[in-house]
Amino acid sequence: MTERLRDKVAIITGATSGIGKASARLFAAQGAQVVLAARGVEAGQALANEIGDNAIFVATDVSHEADMSALVDAAMSRFGRVDCLFNNAGAGERSTAETITEADFDAVMRLLAGSVAFGIKHAARVMKPQGGGSIINNASIAGHRLGQGGYLYSGAKAAVSHFTRIAGVELGPAGIRVNAISPGAIATPIFWGGSARAATLSDAENQAKLDKLTDNLARATPTPRAGHADDIAQAAVFLASDEATFINCHDLVVDGGRIALFNERQ
């Protein structure tokens, strides 16, 4: 099998669970050297050990620019280049226009939008001298349609989509492609509190929640199955690969057709 990412170096944020973990494994299987970023040191180091010599873990809080800068520097120090940044880290939330607080706004926007903006900034500073690269941002159909996420989550994901277009235009002349992936309802722990909540439950409890969620999502998607983390990981591999060298400023919806079921009046 051809390794689609052979000799490429990829940074993946939010790498210890869900989409990030699936992407880390798939990128490595496709020949990439991977830099895994997350807050959970134990889980991050365990995943790096599982992947082997082609992976390192860097403890990172993506909501802080200094951490994003240090993450890129760590990749350069170990591997000498950065070919891909997958800005994947995030968390769900269920705010409304009437319930948001200043603290909620600061936390959600820093995590979901700020991490992308500063990830792009620091990836660009090393990709420009090397002649290019691929930046992939995890957006969401919540940024395109109502009823797919909380008030702040949806607004932040819409910002991610637009950051993608703006950055792709600005950085395209330097050979840097900037694209987004907008997942639909993907069966991951984000639906029951994210990786932090999942870590407090037993394997059996998490599996029971995943089984129930998978069944429910299959009934709410035109393609009659739930989306899985690997579905997004496959899309990310494509956008990171040389097969996608003429794709820029694009937001790729990967949702089994769910977005077609919702209009902005619902």
How confident is the model over 153-185, as pLDDT tens digits?
999 999 999 999 999 999 999 999 999 999 998
- What are the strands, taking DSSP E only, across the chain? 9-13, 33-38, 55-59, 84-87, 133-138, 176-183, 251-254
| Fold of domain 9-186+228-253 | Rossmann fold (3.40.50)
Task: Judge whether 137 and 166 are in contact, CB under 8 Å.
Answer: no
> What pLDDT does 204 receive?
81
| Beta strands at 33-38 and 55-59: parallel, antiparallel or unpaired | parallel
Active site residues: 153
pLDDT digits (tens, 9 = 90+) for 20-44: 999 999 999 999 999 999 999 999 9
User: What pTM was computed for the model?
Assistant: 0.92
> What pLDDT does 254 receive?
96
Task: List phi, psi (to 5°) of 139.
Answer: -95, -140
Question: Does the structure show a pLDDT above 90 at 237?
Answer: yes
Nearest to 40 by CA among 61, 26, 71: 61
Cβ burial, residue 85 (10 Å; 0-12/13-18/19+):
buried
List strands edge to edge, sheet with 176-183: 55-59, 33-38, 9-13, 84-87, 133-138, 176-183, 251-254
Q: What is the pLDDT confidence band of residue 92, given thresholds at 50, 70 and 90?
A: confident
Which one-letter amino acid corresponds to residue 62?
V
pLDDT digits (tens, 9 = 90+) for 103-128: 999 999 999 999 999 999 999 999 99
> What pLDDT does 132 receive?
98
Mean pLDDT of the chain: 93
Cβ burial, residue 77 (10 Å; 0-12/13-18/19+):
exposed
End-to-end CA distance of the chain: 45
pLDDT digits (tens, 9 = 90+) for 184-225: 988 877 766 666 677 787 878 778 888 888 888 888 888 988
Q: Where in the chain is the domain with CATH 3.40.50.720?
A: 9-186+228-253
Q: What is the pLDDT confidence band of residue 265, given thresholds at 50, 70 and 90?
A: very low
> What pLDDT does 263 receive?
57
